[in-house]
Structure 1
Amino acid sequence: MKSAVETLNPTRVRLTVEVPFEELKPSLDAAYKKINQQVTVPGFRKGKLPARIIDQRFGRGAVLEEAVNDALPKFYTEAVNEGELSVLGQPEIDITEFNDGEQLKFTAEVDVRPTLEIPDYSGIEVTVDAVEVSDEDVEKSLEQLRDRFASTTEVERAAAEGDVVVVDLEASVDGEVLEDGVAKGVSYTIGSGQLLDGIDEAVTGLEAGGSATFESELKGGSAAGRTAQIKVDVTSVQARELPELDDEFAQMASEFDTLEELRADSRKRLERMKEYDQATQAQEKVLDKLIEIVEVPIPEKLLEDEINTRKHNLEHHQFPALGLDWASYLEREGKTQEEYDAEVAEQATKGIKTQFILDELVSKEQLSVNQEELTEHLMRRAASSGMSPDQFAQAVVEGGQVPMLVGEVARGKALAHVVEAAKVVDTEGNEVDLSDDEEDETGETVEASSEESGSEAEAAPAEDEAGEKA
């Protein structure tokens, strides 16, 4: 087999491949065997048809077609490996010459990873928010904790904001009660906004035994997205009582003996959270700067596929759960279709550039991933997916996604390497040291950038589609 590579542009090549007819013999033998197993001819046992009978009955052309379809993926893969190409997506195969007994000639056009020049990134400078925790922040945190330990007492008066009402609900559309539109004994805190639009106004001022009706758009269920008439019956009104903010509360709500100890711990916890946010902000800004200084050609087909994948996931996975369609979604987001398309294209482009640049850095800096790093990343991904580590690991292995996870960790390490070399200061001019958090946070930053676009610019298996293109 002979092959040659022609560069069409920085992200696409054309392979020209010539295969001597004798190298097709294994595929011809396999074609005869396959046809033998599929057909029955009177006078011959199944699987024992001579090749000449198959040629007479079904035509030599059918055998040759089957052989070529079997052989193309193998020869395409050999040509890719010979050319040391990092291919993306599926090739466009065109058989340019083939006759019985003569050599097979074909071309394959395919996207490839562009060759990138990474300039000196040690001069990158970014400014991030300073870590500031005010007394008001601490008090707000304590109030939230206090709210979690609130108790309720049934009262005989009209319901008001902040009260808990126990209600029975009945939803109707076009005068008919929905089968899944009846709920009894539902507890709801007025003003929380956690149930149906319009219910706050409907129940405010009602006492136990009171009823009201209102209209609301249903967010889920059989009539999701439709406007329903809601009948609400209040069966109980309960006043919420907050515990006193004192040492006794501190002992009840925490491991501390005094309120001042709890207050000090709340301040430390808020500082850690703001430091986490600061680190994430630094990594995002460094990544943006890195993308600015590296020229990255984008394969058009890859970008098109990323955009279409994002739209497909939104339309077919998120819309049904939310009871939305394109019109209602765009209205909710306050965007036109053109604005949405531009935003998705920008996100997809950033995701692809991020992966190309960081993968190039992984190679340039010779970064590797050890088992401990992979396990830690797997644990984080499992936690964010709501699965146990064992379940997530099994799903990853069964789905053949281990290389994808390794890539995420390696790209995280590459970004950490760049962040370490960058100068990061806060808005008060203080230099920020991220050395303790870099590798933990950067993996999540890279992952978020990729998920934003749905991008996973990995080379597709070379053999998947080459045969089908014949």
Structure 2
Amino acid sequence: MKITQDDVVDRQTTLHIELEDDDLAPYLDRSYRKLAQQVSIPGFRKGKAPRRVVESFVGRESLIHDSLDDMLPDITQRAITNQDIEAAGTPNVELVEFDPVTVKATVPLVPEVDLGAYKDIRVDETPVEITTDDVDGKLGELQDQASSWEPVEREVAAGDMTTMDVKGHVEDDYILNNEDAVYVVDSESALPFAGFADQLVGMEVGVEKEFTLKVPDDHTDNRFAGQDVHISVTVKDLKERLRPELDDEFAKTVGDGHDTLAELRESTEQEMTTQAEEAQASQYRESVLDALVAGGTFEVPPMLIDHEVEHMVDRRDRFVERLEVSMDDYLRYTGKSDDEMKVEMREHAMERFTRSYALSNLAEAESLEIPDEEIDERIKELEAAREEQKDAPEDQSDVDLNSEAARVSIRESLLVSKSLDRLVSIAKGEETAEEPKAGDVAPEEGGDTDNAES
């Protein structure tokens, strides 16, 4: 096998691989044995014709073509290993000649990453504060959930539930056409259009009202975006919300029950604080990761991005197929063209790769590792969770968590988490260096400091 390698450009390199007869022999032999069972050659029973006869009958190119699926990945991997290349993804491989058999393989290399002065990253934390108004608002939501709707005879007021017939058209095209539509009058809602709820306030049951609103510029159907929509509404039924009193009796009905309203308020505040702290911690991790990426430089092979976009397009197409809608209708609903969606996919792919390689390089720079004991512990946790959910519809109990592939996946997941933990410590200005071991002696002032790193 003769290999020549082009220069590395954009973290990609191309291998030109010329195969000799000894390289081809095992693949052509397998192809011969398969074809010998399939073709009928005069004078021979199937599978009994010698290779030279089969090759003469079907042609050498047919044998080569039949062997490509096995041959191309094998010889490409051999060439990559031979050239000591650290590939970051699947190569693009093509057969360029039959005589001699020559293969061209373009290989994406591991991205070039420079994290810059990542130890200088500092990100301020946003303190979590739950106010009395926040708690009151949550208690109001609990009241709403426990409320009932009762018919009322009066004009429509904010907060009411209406049943209505509503039509809306932009020129000759109807954008709304619903009978007996149920709608809660919420002035903060932008549905179906901003200002719709305000137009209902003061209406009388059974009296039609006509008005005009503006379709938002980002409407999912480009035909209507930014246009005037002419609306007619007839309220047919009206109900008001009856909320329970916010007292001790109400507190006893919430969750597992609370003896007093004060206890409900306290537990609500604790729950909101916990949720806010978890959300803040998650947002902080995102912020420090953004800072890490922003301070680094990344040279990612275009092939990696191209392949990821292809996967994303495939997932999108299968999703649309499951929806049983045409691609044109789906694109019209999203308000984007196919090209615009692919541009967004490319941006998302680049973001995913830069984040992933930023964390993997951080782990290497900080000498972070995942010992087998941590993987074993995580497997125990996953098995316990699986046992609790074994009757769930999406049960995955057939996955062997101790398989090599599963352990590799778990190790990668744990390493990402550990890398983020270290990055958070750095961003908070916390000490990340290991504590001195017993017996270690600090260098004297003015002495040898070669091994004294803070």
Q: Tell me, yes or no, whether TM beats 0.5.
A: yes
Question: What is the aligned partner in structure 2 of residue 85 from structure 1?
Answer: 86
Query: Shift in Å at residue 173 of structure 1?
Result: 11
The alpha carbon displacement at 1:27 in A equals 1.0
1:66 matched to 2:69? The reply is no
In 2, Cα distance between equivalents of 1:283 and 1:156: 53
Q: Counterparts of 2:214 and 2:381 in 1: how far apart (Å)?
A: 43
Matches within 5 A, 1:421-432: 421-423=426-428
Instruction: Report deviation, 1:355.
Output: 0.9
In structure 1, the residue matched to 2:37 is 37
Partners of 2:27 and 2:70 within 8 A in 1 = yes
Give the equivalent residue in structure 1 for 2:440. none
Choose from 384, 391, 398 the match for 2:394. Answer: 391
* 1:290 corresponds to: 292
**Alpha-carbon deviation of 1:297?**
0.9
Report the CA distance between 1:412 and its aligned residue: 2.5
In structure 2, relative to structure 1, the CA distance for the partners of 1:365 and 1:159 (3 Å cut) is: same
What is the aligned partner in structure 2 of residue 358 from structure 1?
359
Task: Give the Å deviation of 1:390.
Answer: 6.3
Contact 1:378 1:405 in 2 (8 A): no
Q: What is the aligned-residue identity percentage?
A: 26
Distance 1:418 1:213 in 2: 58
| Residue of structure 2 in register with 1:325 after alignment | 331
Structure 1 vs Structure 2 CA RMSD: 4.9
Q: Deviations over 1:378-409 (max 9, x none)?
A: 999xxxxxx98661637988xx9956676444
For the pair shown, the structure with the greater C-alpha radius of gyration is 2
Asked if 2 retains the 8 angstrom alpha-carbon contact of 1:11 and 1:114, the reply is: yes
Given that 1:224 and 1:322 are in contact with CA atoms closer than 8 Å, whether structure 2 keeps it comes out as no
Is the Cα–Cα contact under 8 Å of residues 217 and 226 in structure 1 kept in the other structure? no
Where do 5+ consecutive residues of structure 1 fail to align? 332-336, 381-386, 425-430, 432-470
- Aligned equivalents of 1:172 and 1:6: distance in 2? 62
Deviations 1:341-382 (A, max 9, x none): 8776554333211111222344542235625536868999xx
Structure with bigger helix share is: 1
Aligned mates of 1:183, 1:375 — CA distance in 2: 55
Q: Report the CA distance between 1:264 and its aligned residue.
A: 1.8
Match of 2:241, SS state, is strand
Structure 2 residue identity aligned to 1:278: Q
Paired residues of 1:37 and 1:47 also in contact (CA < 8 A) = yes
How far apart, in 1, do the equivalents of 2:38 and 2:213 lie? Answer: 61
Match for 1:149 among 146, 160, 183?
A: 146
- Alignment of 1:237 onto 2:243: no
Which shows bigger deviation, 4-13 or 35-44?
4-13
> Residues 349 and 396 of structure 1: is their aligned pair in 2 closer, same or farther, counting only changes over 3 Å?
farther
In the aligned structure 2, how far is the partner of 1:148 from the partner of 1:183? 26
Number of the residue aligned with 1:247: 248
Query: How far 1:8 sits from its partner (Å)?
Result: 0.8
Task: Specify the alignment match of 1:465 in structure 2.
Answer: none
Helix, strand or coil at the partner of 1:358: helix
Separation in structure 2 between the aligned mates of residue 112 and residue 297 of structure 1, nearest angstrom: 10
Question: How far apart in 2 are the matches of 1:3 and 1:44?
Answer: 40
Given that 1:216 and 1:229 are in contact with CA atoms closer than 8 Å, whether structure 2 keeps it comes out as yes
Aligned ranges 1:44-63 → 2 under 5 Å: 44-63=44-63
- Name the aligned partner's letter for residue 63 of structure 2: V
> How far apart in 2 are the matches of 1:172 and 1:206?
21
In 2: Cα distance, 1:113 partner to 1:216 partner: 54
Deviation of 1:131 (Å) = 1.4
What is the aligned length? 404
What amino acid is aligned across from residue 29 of structure 1 in structure 2?
A: D
**For 2:259, what is the secondary structure of its paired residue?**
coil
Aligned counterparts of 2:64 and 2:336: Cα–Cα separation in 1: 53
| 1:161 corresponds to | 158
Amino acid at match of 2:37: Q
Secondary structure of 2:73's aligned partner = helix
Deviations 1:6-51 (A, max 9, x none): 6513621233545442232221111112222332234433333332
Letter in 2 for 1:108: A
Tell me which moved more, 251-260 or 5-14.
5-14
The corresponding residue for 1:12 is: 12
Instruction: Write the letter of the residue equivalent to 1:412.
Output: S
Amino acid aligned to 2:88: V
Q: Which residue of 2 aligns with 1:190?
A: 185
Contact 2:122/2:427, CA 8 A, preserved across alignment: yes
- In 1, the alpha carbon distance for the partners of 2:200 and 2:266 equals 40
Find the counterpart in structure 2 of residue 28 from structure 1: 28
SS at match of 2:153: coil
Does the residue aligned with 1:393 lie in a helix, a strand or coil?
Answer: coil
Deviation at 1:126, TM superposition (A): 0.9
Query: Structure 2, unaligned stretches of length 5 or more?
Result: 431-454
Give runs of aligned pairs for residues 175-214 of structure 1, distance below 5 A.
Answer: 187-191=182-186, 193=189, 196-197=192-193, 200=197, 205=202
Tell me the secondary structure at the aligned position of residue 268 of structure 1: helix
Instruction: Identify the residue that residue 261 of structure 2 maps to in structure 1.
Output: 259
Counterpart contact for 1:96–1:107, Cα < 8 Å = no
Between 67-76 and 364-373, the greater mean CA deviation after superposition? 364-373
For 2:294 and 2:271, locate their aligned partners in 1 and report how far apart those are by CA, in whole Å: 35
Task: Give 1:109's aligned amino acid.
Answer: T
Q: Work out which structure has the larger RCO, using CA pairs closer than 8 Å and 6 or more positions apart in sequence.
A: 1
1:296 aligns to what SS in structure 2?
A: strand
Matching residue of 2:273: 271
Separation in structure 1 between the aligned mates of residue 237 and residue 3 of structure 2, nearest angstrom:
80
2:266 alignment partner AA: A
- Structure 2 length as normaliser, TM-score? 0.69
CA contact (8 A) 2:12 2:108 kept: yes
Residue 54 of structure 1 and its aligned partner are, at CA, apart by 2.2
**One-letter code aligned to 2:183:** Y
| 1:401-440 mapped onto 2 (5 Å cutoff) | 407-423=412-428
> Which runs of structure 2 are paired with 1:121-136 in the superposition (5 Å)?
121-136=118-133
Is the 1:164–1:237 Cα contact (8 Å) retained in structure 2? Answer: yes
After TM superposition, the score normalised by the length of structure 1 is 0.67
Partner residue in 2 for 1:108: 105
